[in-house]
Chain A
Amino acid sequence: MAHRKKNRNVGIIGIGQTKYSSHREDVNQPEMINEAVSAALKDASLTMKDVDCIVHGNMELFEMVHQPDLWHTLGTGAYGKDCIRITTGGTVGATIACAADNLVASGMYDIVMAIGFQKLQEGHTTGGITNMADPLWFRHLQTGALTGTKAYDVIKEFGEERAKRASLMYRVIMDKHAGLNSNAHRAFGLEFEQIDDLIKTSPKLVGDLKLIEMCSQSDGACCVIFACEKKAKELSKKPVWVRDHITVHREEVFVMFGYDDRHPFPMTHRFAAEQLYKRNGITSPVDYFDVFEMYDPASWWAVDWLRDFFMLKGDEHLKLVENREIMIGGKIPVNPSGGVIGSNPIGATALIRVAEAALQVRGDAGTHQIPTPVNHALASGFGGTMWTVLMMLEKELNWQGVNNG
């Protein structure tokens, strides 16, 4: 696969997040965005004057606002500056991070601010998502981001009891992580002892996907500031370097559930991971990475995707979950922030993965900081129906020897 070399290195020098919550009636959209922008500028000790370009992103149709970038100028600070709006579905937060990286790496701008936001309370998320389906033959059936197919797959492969327990185990771990993150929208205080009860009592949404397993619907915004190597070193004591990122796309997969194992069904997650690790010379991602901030829309998907992203075989991914190796303090902590299940302002969600991964590398994640050193971090983005973005972050600028061309 063709891959361009970076024209220059890019570092993350500022991170700002709002508190994520279900109700932000107290602020309108630009006001909420401004909270994240102000926090990121403060984090980077910059003012808007220092920012060259703004990349703004959210999901379409979710707040029913046309040209949100225009009326958000009051919050983004884009007055008199280059501002680019990007929307790519669930991946949008990751896409704006990639775009910001590209814009700086190319030499077009020295400092670029990526802003992702969503106010899910203002619109109808599921209603909005249904509009991605073809109006002529599938829109009338579409159920937004809810599907029971992944639960069906995992149950089919590993049996009902083990599968359901793994999904809930993942869910409880995320809740425990969210409990450590003061920005998280939902932290219920779930205990491992509740797993059996929740399997029985949590209301079902679609198939075996239960309410407790699905991500939240949150309001919030995230802002990440990217700078060229020279500026990053001048301005920041602890820049986090963007090593590489990859985006993989494929045709829609609304109905490709034939369960015919004679027809292999290439998945973008595994495909993206393979490409990315190959060109960066990484053979064992579980060992290489110190933390993974994964876009986990529901615990079923999360459990299954660990196998794809870490290129695992058989039930290795289930064991990671069952043995709580994905907890803070485990072998490969996943989502110390509490993940998407904890907070999900969709247009910001994938950018929050990058932001949280960068905070871990910096050692600034506070109460949900991993105790061991974090030198290499991975962040993922996911969008319907099957679109993957992966971004690799590094503490040191020392991989140039590796052939990543």
Chain B
Amino acid sequence: MSLDFDRKDCFVVDGKLALPYTYFAGRMGSKFITTLRDEKKIMGVKCPVCNKVYVPPRQTCEVDMTDIRENWVELRNTGEVTNFTVIRYDDKHLPRKAPFILALIKLDGADSPFAHILEGIAPEEVKPGMRVEAVFAKATTSTILDIDHFEPARVSKVQVSEPAERTQAPAAAPRSKEEMEQDERRKAMSKKVIITAALAGAATMKNQNPAVPYTPQEFAEDAYKCWKAGAAMVHVHAREDGGMATHDHKRIKDTHDAIKEKCPDLIVNMSSAVGMGKTAEQRISQIIHVKPEMASLNTNTMNFSLVDRKSGKVFIDFVFENTFTMLQDFGKAMEEAGVKPEMELYDMGGLDNWLLISKQGFFTKPYNFNFVWGVAGGQAFRPDAFMTMKHALPEGANFTTCGVGTDQFPAITMSSLAGGHMRVGLEDNIRIPTGELAKGSYEQVEWAVKIAEIAGREVATPDEAREIMGLRKK
């Protein structure tokens, strides 16, 4: 039995629910948003237990519940589309008019996908795996929409040729399984090119290019810009406030630490030459004091002079002393301190010197060399000399190259084609290929990135560079 009623009494009433609310982002979320808004930087956090990098950041690793709130890492503004969908209906809560693309993007350096709007490409052309980069909003709102959207990356990988493979035959000597696996991993990475920025050197001054850094702060800012542009490593000679090269431990450490604090990800390679007129003790003790991940190791005593290239006049005649004993002592000290030496080859003789000392057996693999061209006292860049040097390297060694002045870009182009890495920076050259003064080392890094693209080489991240060069992150 039920109530006597008539269905005609049923009707529908339009209603509404309207309630104010305030969302608190918390410290983590706020830092993420304000950094995005004010510094145009995307920050994530890394779990020290499982090494996952999460973005947006979170307080705990959801897998192992580790408290990860202090482990901030900065990510690049580029990434890869892992999946996407097309929103085909309009609704007031949606950020765009339909149709628009909502993509899951794995930012470079992150492990968790990040959802955002993808523009500048038709929905039918989107493919998982495509490279994209963030476009920041001009008018900010303190929300995730301070990244306005992502769009296809301007610098995309162009496969023009298979990158150079190692030419050496496999080693005959028996090797451990571990070593072979390591070699395999490195080989798989041979397509990657490491870009190094030599930020200052000992002799380039602000009156030549005002962008040359002197103070730790300037070094940090400059290093940061280079890293953003694609550099995996910076090479550093610390300077006094007035610009003089210094061997002062505190100043060198401050400079090193400022860079590491600004971009913890970046590899810092310190000079063991320091500058003119330093004693052997001054040159090596600072390396042992600071313990960077990498440091230069010079291989031959040579003229290292300031000259007028047009008239051939000598301004400063200087002998750069690198005796066998120094090569041996510096090399040993570095290896013992866990600092990976980068062997500086100014000519073929330098390589022979190193091969001789290396028979003592204290240098650890993989070996990393830098071909230096154009020093007044060394040799000028010549492609056939380059290939000769490359062929003379020990099996499995890495090489990069740098050139002084106008040798810079031809030399690194050659290196990128020959399977080597690239070093740029104001230490070597104050200009970009158009002849204009570089706005900073980072502008040369941008050119190097373009060269890599033409050569069909992907730019290595700092962690990839560590894997290739056998560095341990500090």
Indicate whether A and B interact.
yes
Contact A34 B19 (CB under 8 A): no
Q: Is the CB of A34 within 8 A of B60?
A: yes
Interface residues on B, range: 20 to 34
Establish whether residues A74 and B21, one from each chain, have CB atoms under 8 Å apart when the complex forms.
no
On whether A131 and B59 interact (CB within 8 A), knowing A28-B29, A122-B24, the answer reads: no
Known: A28-B26, A48-B65, A135-B15. A127 touches B20 (CB 8 A): yes
Interface residues of B in 67-106 (CB under 8 A from A): 67
B356 within 8 A of A: no
Give the chain A neighbours of B24 by CB distance below 8 A: 24-25, 27-28, 119, 121-122
B115 interface residue (CB < 8 Å to A): no
- Does B28 make an interface contact (CB < 8 A)? yes
Q: Are B26 and A74 in contact (CB under 8 A)?
A: no
A310–chain B nearest beta-carbon distance, Å: 38
Asked if B62 is an interface residue, CB under 8 A from chain A, the answer is yes
Tell whether A75 pairs with B20 under 8 Å between CB atoms, given A25-B26, A26-B27, A28-B29: no
A107 part of interface (Cβ distance < 8 Å): no
In the complex, per-residue mask of A141-179: 1 if CB is within 8 Å of any chain B CB, else 0 = 000000000000000000000000000000000000000
Docked complex: A25-45 residues within 8 A CB-CB of B: 25-28, 30-32, 34, 38
- Which A216-254 residues have a C-beta within 8 angstroms of B? none
- B25 neighbours in A (Cβ, 8 Å): 28
Within the assembled complex, what's the spacing in Å between the Cα atoms of A38 and B13? Answer: 47
B17 touches A34 (CB 8 A): no
Q: Is B392 on the interface with A (CB-CB < 8 A)?
A: no
Q: Does the CB pair B59–A128 fall under 8 Å?
A: no
Chain A residue contacts of B29, Cβ below 8 A = 28
A48 to B49, CA, bound (A): 15
C-alpha gap A254/B384 in the complex (Å): 94
Q: Complex formed: what's the CA distance from A346 to B63 in Å?
A: 29
In the bound complex, what is the Cα–Cα distance between A73 and B19 (angstroms)? 26
User: CB-CB < 8 A to B15: which residues of A?
Assistant: 135
Q: Does B58 contact A (CB under 8 A)?
A: yes
Interface pair B19/A124, CB less than 8 Å apart: yes
For B17, list chain A residues within 8 Å (CB): 131
Find chain B residues with CB under 8 A from A136 CB.
13
Bound state CA distance, A295 and B150, in angstroms?
A: 51
> Which residue on A lies nearest to B62, using beta carbons?
A79
**Binary contact track B285-309/A, C-beta < 8 Å → 1, others 0:** 0000000000000000000000000
8 Å CB interface, A99-130 against B? 119, 121-124, 127-128
Within 8 A of A (CB), among B1-50: 13, 15, 17, 19-29
A93 smallest CB distance to B (angstroms): 21
Bound complex: CA A376 to CA B17 (Å): 45
Residues of B within 8 Å of A27, CB to CB, are 24, 26-27, 59
Contacting pair A121 B22 (CB below 8 A): yes
Q: How many Å from the CB of B299 to the closest CB on chain A?
A: 53
Once the chains bind, are B22 and A122 in contact (CB under 8 Å)?
yes
| B187 vs chain A, min Cβ distance (A) | 37
A64 touches B26 (CB 8 A): no
A180 within 8 A of B: no
CA distance A131 to B18 in the complex (A): 10
Q: Does the CB pair B63–A79 fall under 8 Å?
A: yes
**Chain A residues near B22 (CB-CB < 8 A):** 121-123
**A208 CB-CB contact with B under 8 Å:** no
Q: Contact check, B59 vs A64: say whether CB atoms are below 8 A apart.
A: no
- B19–A75 CB distance below 8 A: no
Contact present for A34 and B26 (CB under 8 Å): no
A235 to B307: give the CA distance in the assembly, Å. 80
Residues from chain A with Cβ under 8 Å of B59 in the complex? 27, 30-31, 34, 74-75
Question: Which among A26, A38, A73, A122 is the interface contact of B62 at CB below 8 angstroms?
Answer: A73
Closest to B23 in A: A122
Say if the beta carbon of A333 comes within 8 Å of chain B.
no
* B95 CB → nearest A CB, Å: 18
Q: Which residues of chain A come closer than 8 Å to B60, judged between CB atoms?
A: 30, 34, 74-75, 77
Which residues 57-82 of A sit at the B interface, judged by CB distance below 8 A? 61, 63-64, 73-75, 77, 79
Which residues on A sit within 8 Å (CB–CB) of B19? 61, 64, 123-124, 127-128, 131
A28–B19 CA distance with the chains assembled, in angstroms:
20
Measured CB to CB, the closest approach of chain B to A402, in angstroms, equals 41
User: Which residues from chain B contact A119 at a C-beta distance below 8 Å?
Assistant: 24
Q: A31, A48, A77, A79: which contacts B26 (Cβ < 8 A)? A: A31
Q: For A121, what are the chain B residues with a Cβ–Cβ distance below 8 Å?
A: 22, 24
- Give the Cβ gap from A75 to chain B, nearest Cβ, in Å: 7
In the assembly, what is the distance between CA of A25 and CA of B17, in Å? 26
| Separation of A75 and B67 alpha carbons in the complex (Å) | 10
Q: For residues 388 through 441 of chain B, which have their beta carbon under 8 Å from a beta carbon of chain A?
A: none
CA distance A26 to B25 in the complex (A): 8
CB distance from A220 to the nearest CB of B (A): 13
Once the chains are docked, how many angstroms separate the CA of A73 from the CA of B59?
A: 11
Mask for B102-130, Cβ within 8 A of A = 1, else 0?
Answer: 00000000000000000000000000000
Please state if A124 and B20 are interface contacts (CB–CB under 8 Å): yes
| Chain A residue with Cβ nearest B18 | A127
Cβ-defined contact, A123 with B65, below 8 A: no
Residues of B with C-beta under 8 A to A127: 19-20
**Once the chains are docked, how many angstroms separate the CA of A192 from the CA of B62?**
49
Min C-beta distance of A135 to chain B, whole Å: 5
- Bound complex: CA of A30 vs CA of B63, how far in Å? 15
- Among A25, A31, A123, point to the contact of B28 (Cβ < 8 A): A31
B33 to chain A, nearest CB (A): 11
Query: Which residues in window 51-69 of B have CB below 8 A to A?
Result: 58-60, 62-63, 65, 67
Complex interface: chain A residues within 8 A of B58 (CB): 30, 74
> In the docked arrangement, what's the CA distance between A119 and B60, Å?
19
CA distance A75 to B60 in the complex (A): 7
Q: Whole-angstrom distance from the CB of B93 to the nearest CB of chain A?
A: 12
Judge whether A74 and B62 touch: CB under 8 Å.
yes
B94 to chain A, nearest CB (A): 16
In the complex, what distance in Å separates the CA atom of A61 from the CA atom of B20? 11
Smallest CB separation, B246 vs chain A (Å):
43
- In the bound assembly, the distance between CA atoms of A323 and B116 in angstroms comes to 64
Within the assembled complex, what's the spacing in Å between the Cα atoms of A115 and B29? 23
What's the Cα separation between A313 and B60 when bound, in Å?
A: 53
- Nearest-neighbor residue (CB-CB) of A136 within chain B: B13
Bound-state Cα–Cα, A25 to B23, Å? 9
* C-alpha spacing A216/B55, complex, angstroms: 36
What are 5 sample pairs from A and B whose C-beta atoms fall under 8 A apart? A25-B24, A25-B26, A28-B24, A47-B65, A75-B60
Task: Taking A28-B26, A122-B22 as given, write out 8 further A-B residue pairs in contact, using a Cβ cutoff of 8 Å, ordered by the A residue number.
Answer: A27-B59, A31-B26, A34-B59, A48-B65, A73-B62, A74-B58, A74-B59, A123-B21
Residues of B participating in the A interface, judged by any CB pair closer than 8 Å: 13, 15, 17, 19-29, 58-60, 62-63, 65, 67
- Which 10 pairs show the lowest CB-CB distances between chains A and B? A28-B26, A64-B21, A27-B26, A123-B21, A31-B59, A79-B62, A127-B19, A25-B24, A26-B27, A48-B65
